[in-house]
Amino acid sequence: MNSHRIAYSLLVLLAVGLGGCASQPRRELAHLPGTTGCFWTRNIFDWTVLDASTVLVHSPGPRDAYLIKLFAPIPDLRFHEVLGFQGGDGHPDQFCTDNGYVIVRGPVPQREPVVAVRVLSPLEARQLLAGAGHPASHRPPARGSAPGS
C-alpha cells in the first residue's frame, strides 16, 4: 500500500514539474519586441545569429526583419555557416511560430522548434543587432549553386 502512495506522489510531482516547464517559454516571450508574424523561406535575404536561441532573419529584403526565438538553445549556433528554415506540413515554405523549425547539420544534426516569430521595425532590428555585440551574420547560398562551386 505504501509503494502505491509513493508511486502516486511521484507521478503527481512529475506532472506538476512538467507543467511548469511547458509554461516557462511563454513568460519569456512576453518581453520580445515586434508582433507575431510569418515569412516565406524562399525569400530569405540573410540571417544573423544573436545568441544560441535567437536569430534575426531578413526576408524578402534587408529592411524586412523577423526575430526567431528557438524552444531551446543550439550549442555553437553562431558558428554554423548553413541553417535550414523549415515550415510546417501544410505550407513547408511558410515559416511561422506554430510550424517553424531551425535545422543545423553536423555530427549530431538538430531540428529545433520555434516558439516565436516576430515582425520587427527597422529600429527594433538595429537595437537588437547593437545589443548583441558581434553577431555572426550569414547569407544563404544562391539557389541552384552547389557548395564549393
In tens, the pLDDT along 43-61 reads: 999 999 999 999 999 999 8
pLDDT at 64 over 90: yes
Has this prediction a pTM greater than 0.75?
Answer: no
Percentage with pLDDT > 70 across the chain:
72
The reported pLDDT for the residue numbered 29 is 74
Do 90 and 61 share a structural domain? yes
Q: Decide: 135 and 49 in contact? Cβ < 8 Å.
A: yes
Assess whether 100 and 132 both reside in one domain.
yes
Rounded to an integer, the average pLDDT of 103-125 is 93
* Residue 43 covered by a domain: yes
Higher pLDDT, 121 or 11: 121
User: Which of the two residues, 145 and 125, has the higher pLDDT score?
Assistant: 125
Confidence of residue 62 (pLDDT cuts 50, 70, 90): confident
Query: What is the share, in percent, of the chain residues with pLDDT greater than 90?
Result: 45
Name every residue whose Cβ is closer than 8 Å to that of residue 14 and which is 6 or more positions away in sequence: none
Note whether residue 146 is domain-resident: no
123 vs 10: CA distance, rounded Å: 49
Looking at the fold, whether 44 and 98 belong to one and the same domain comes out as yes
Residue 67 lies in a domain: yes
The residue segments making up the domain with residue 107 are: 34-138
Tell me the pairing of strands 65-70 and 110-120: antiparallel
Phi/psi of residue 142, nearest 5 degrees? -60, 145
When divided into structural domains, the chain yields a total of 2
